[in-house]
A and B are shown apart, each in its own frame.
Chain A
Amino acid sequence: MIITQLITSFIASSAFGVLFNAPRNALIQCGFVGMLGWILYYLLVERGMDVVPATTIAAMLVAVLSHSCSKYYKMPIIIFNVSGIIPLVPGGVAYNAMRHFVENDYNTAIQLSTQVMLLAGGIAIGLMFSEVVNQVMRKIGAVGR
C-alpha cells in the first residue's frame, strides 16, 4: 500500500511541476520533495495523528528539503516547495466543502471550510518554520563573528 502512495505522490508532484512550468532539470527533485512530504503525512495520519498537526509537520519536512535543494542546485526555493507542498494542500477538502455548500448542507460545509483554513495555516506555519530557523541561524552566526 505504501509503495502505491510513494509512486502516485511522486507522479502527482512532478506532474504539478510541469503545470507550474518548473525547469526541466528540477522536475525529479520536485517529485522527491513532494513524495517524502506526503509519505510522512500519510504515516503520521495512519498512526492516528490529527490531520492538521500531521500536515504542519510534513510541511516542515518539505520546507527543509526544498531549502537544501535550493542551496545545492542554486535555484530559488519556490521551485521546490511549490510542487513539493501540492500533495499536502487541502484541495480535496476545499472541493468537498464547496460541494456541500451547493448541496445546501451548510453545517458540513462550514466544518470543512474551517478545516481548509486550519490546514492552509498549518502548511504556512510549516513552510515559515524553516525560513525562521534559517534566519535565526544566520543572525546568530553574524553575532558570533
Chain B
Amino acid sequence: MEETVAIEKICMLAGKIMLVSGAETNRVEDTMNRIASSFGIENPQSYATPTGINFSVDVAATTNSLRIIRRSTDLHKIDKVNIVSRKIAGGEITITEAFRQLKEIDRENTAYPAWVQILAAGLASGGFTIMYGGTWGDFLPAFFAGAIGFTGLLSFERVVEIRFLAEFFGAFLVGASAYLFFRMGFGNLINMVIIGGVMPLVPGLHITNAVRDLMSGHLVSGLSKGVEAVLTAFAIGAGVAVIYSFV
C-alpha cells in the first residue's frame, strides 16, 4: 500500500510539472501512464486538462486530483521530467530517488535571467518586422518596442493577478512606444513595427496547440486552450487599439 501511494505521488508530481510548463495534454497523460506502468501498475488511469489532473492506479481505486492555476511555457522542465521518466522506464532509479529528483525539478528556477528574455523579445520583434516585409530602418524601433512591451508584461504579471490585463498593458506599451518612435521620425512603417513588437505577446502557439488537441481527440483541453488564445488575442488587439483611437 505504501508503495502505491509513492507511485501516485510521483505520477502526480511529474504530471503537474509538465502541465505547468505547457506540455500538451497528450504528452502529460502518456508520461504519467508510462511512469506508473514501469513501477508495475497494470491499468493506470490519467486524465489531464489545462486546469487540473486526475490520476488513479486502477479503475476502482482512489482518485487523486490536482488543481493547476498558473501555466507558462518552460521547455527546460519538460525536458528534465522526460529524462527522469526515461530513467524510471529503464529501471535505473528507485522510487525514492525519482521522487527526490522530481521535487528538485519542481523547486528549481531554470528560467533565463530577465534581461536575456527581454533582449530575446526585442530580437524576435525586430526579426519578425523584417520577415513580414518591413525595412531595415524598422528593425531598431521594433526591437525597442518589443523589448519595452515585454518588460511591461513581465513587471505587470508580478503585480496583476489576471494575465489578460498584463497582456493588455504589454500591447499598449508596444503601441505607445512604436507611435512615439514614429513621431520622432524613427522607423518607416508603423504597422510593421507594431506587428513585430506584439509578436512576443501573441498567443500563436496556443492557437496551434488548441487545434492539435482538438484533432487528437482531447476536446476539453482543445476548447479551453482555444478560448485562452482568443482572449489573449483580444487583450492584445484592445491594447493596441487604445493607441489607434488616439492617433
| Chain A residues close to B by CB (< 8 Å) | 4-5, 8-9, 11-12, 14-23, 26, 38, 74-76, 78-79, 82, 85-87, 89-92, 94-99, 101-103, 116, 120-121, 123-125, 127-128
Q: What would 16 A/B residue contacts be, using CB atoms closer than 8 Å?
A: A8-B128, A12-B199, A15-B121, A15-B123, A18-B117, A75-B79, A76-B75, A78-B75, A79-B79, A89-B208, A92-B195, A103-B244, A123-B211, A124-B211, A125-B215, A128-B215
Does B233 lie within 8 Å of A128, measured CB to CB?
no
CB distance from B84 to the nearest CB of A (A): 12
Report the separation of the CA atoms of residues A121 and B24 in the bound assembly, to the nearest whole angstrom: 17
Taking CB as reference atom, which chain A residue is nearest B235?
A98
The answer to whether residues A18 and B112 also contact, given A12-B124, A78-B75 and a CB cut-off of 8 A, is yes
Does A38 lie within 8 Å of B79, measured CB to CB?
no
Does B212 lie within 8 Å of A127, measured CB to CB?
yes
Does B124 lie within 8 Å of A98, measured CB to CB?
no
Contact of A12 among B23, B110, B131, B237 (CB under 8 A): B131
Chain A positions within 8 Å of B194 at CB level: 95
Does B131 lie within 8 Å of A87, measured CB to CB?
yes
Chain A interface main SS type:
helix
Does A21 lie within 8 Å of B207, measured CB to CB?
no
Q: Could you say which of A14, A86, A98 has the most chain B C-beta atoms within 10 Å of its C-beta? A: A98
CB distance from B114 to the nearest CB of A (A): 11
Does A76 lie within 8 Å of B124, measured CB to CB?
no
Given contacts A87-B131, A92-B199, 7 further A-B pairs with CB under 8 A are A12-B124, A89-B208, A95-B237, A99-B241, A101-B237, A120-B208, A127-B208
Chain A positions within 8 Å of B238 at CB level: 98, 102
B60 within 8 A of A: no
Report the separation of the CA atoms of residues A121 and B211 in the bound assembly, to the nearest whole angstrom: 6
Report the separation of the CA atoms of residues A85 and B206 in the bound assembly, to the nearest whole angstrom: 12
B34 within 8 A of A: no
Contact of A95 among B24, B78, B240, B245 (CB under 8 A): B240
Chain B positions within 8 Å of A74 at CB level: 86
